[in-house]
């Protein structure tokens, strides 16, 4: 995980990865709170399914397998729904409806709205600071600084101002 974040940080020169990185940094506090809320709700619903159906179905026989089955249900893969209907139709319908409303609808939409809101804020700020994160301009600037090519640097600045 840390290597992924490190490599993501190295890709900051790409404008799209920069937007992703800045969005995740801006949404960090909200995502930490969301993670706790998701963990609490998911654990509660996992235990509910375990307590109600552990005797009847293999998919809910242990807490670990129940958690795996619930993660499958987050992706709307309801392979076990047919087996649940055979046990108790009303209980299965209420539990699945509760799971879908709380986890799939409420929490997934909350996650998406956190990301989208922070993305819109970052995108607005980046538009104000146009072309700050472009790699080519960064390399050219460093090249000019290292080799003292003041003449070419002035020409580059004039060309950049006229192109805007």
DSSP string for residues in 135-154: HHHHHHHHHHHHHT-HHHHH
Render pLDDT for 109-154 as a digit per residue (tens, 0 to 9): 999 999 999 999 988 877 766 655 566 677 777 777 777 776 555 5
Q: Are 60 and 49 in contact (CB under 8 A)?
A: yes
Render pLDDT for 72-82 as a digit per residue (tens, 0 to 9): 888 888 787 77
Do 160 and 102 lie in one domain? The reply is no
Q: What is the mean pLDDT of residues 48-65?
A: 90
Do 17 and 81 lie in one domain? The reply is yes
Q: Are 45 and 20 in contact (CB under 8 A)?
A: no
Q: Are 19 and 120 in contact (CB under 8 A)?
A: no
Q: For residue 34, what pLDDT is reported?
A: 94
What pTM did the predictor assign? Answer: 0.65
- Domain span at residue 143 reads 135-164
Q: How many domains does the chain have?
A: 2
């Amino acid at each position: 995980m840390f290597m992924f974040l490190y490599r993501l940080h190295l890709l900051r020169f790409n404008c799209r990865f920069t937007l992703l990185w800045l969005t995740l940094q801006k949404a960090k506090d909200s995502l930490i709170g969301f993670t706790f809320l998701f963990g609490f709700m998911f654990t509660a619903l996992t235990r509910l399914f375990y307590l109600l159906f552990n005797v009847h179905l293999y998919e809910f026989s242990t807490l670990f397998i129940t958690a795996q089955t619930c993660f499958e249900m987050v992706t709307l893969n309801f392979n076990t729904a047919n087996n649940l209907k055979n046990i108790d139709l009303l209980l299965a319908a209420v539990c699945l409806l509760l799971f879908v409303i709380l986890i799939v609808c409420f929490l997934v939409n909350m996650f998406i709205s956190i990301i989208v809101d922070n993305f819109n804020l970052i995108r607005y700020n980046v538009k104000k600071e146009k072309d700050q994160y472009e790699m080519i301009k960064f390399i050219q600037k460093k090249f000019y600084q290292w080799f003292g090519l003041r003449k070419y640097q002035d020409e580059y600045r004039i060309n950049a101002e006229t192109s805007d």
